[in-house]
Amino acid sequence: MKKLVVILSLIAISLSSLANNNAGRVENNESTENNHILIDMNISPNPVVNFGELEFILEEAVDEVFIFIANSSGKLVSSLPIGETAAGKNTVLINTDGLQGFYIVGIQAGNQTGTCKMYVK
């Protein structure tokens, strides 16, 4: 239940912040007021056809990383638990089979969070 609440909160924050971010990329890893660290992340190629490579940079190692994909209405369409992940640059292959249109990809890694836009052809 905690993950669902975090995901829904991230989706709401993402939709409002991405509306103001034409690049669809989060490039600020400064701490926010509630000790959350924003993750620098990007998916390529974008637009995605079949598979996309999600690249993200973590400030610190985390025992459990959780990746989600939400549609433009905020409905969760896919989730992927990654498990233990090292600090620094990481990549994950995302299968977009069955998806088409605009999506938000998000990450929850301890107190580190991030989102980016993804377009699937």
Res. 29: pLDDT tops 50:
no
| Residue predicted with more confidence, 32 or 101 | 101
b/e per residue, 13-51, with b = 16+ CB within 10 A? ebeeebeeeeebbbeeeeeeeeebbbbbbbbeebebeee
Q: Where are the domains of the chain?
A: 2-120
What is the value of pTM for the model shown? 0.73
Enter the CATH code of domain 2-120: 2.60.40.3080
Percent of the chain past pLDDT 70, that is, above it, reads 72
> Is the N-terminal amide bond of 47 cis, ω within 30° of 0?
yes
d(C-alpha 107, C-alpha 69), whole Å = 9
- Give pLDDT, residue 34: 63
Res. 10: pLDDT tops 60:
no
pLDDT digits (tens, 9 = 90+) for 41-81: 999 999 999 999 999 999 999 999 999 999 999 999 999 99
- Give pLDDT, residue 81: 94
Res. 19: pLDDT tops 50:
no
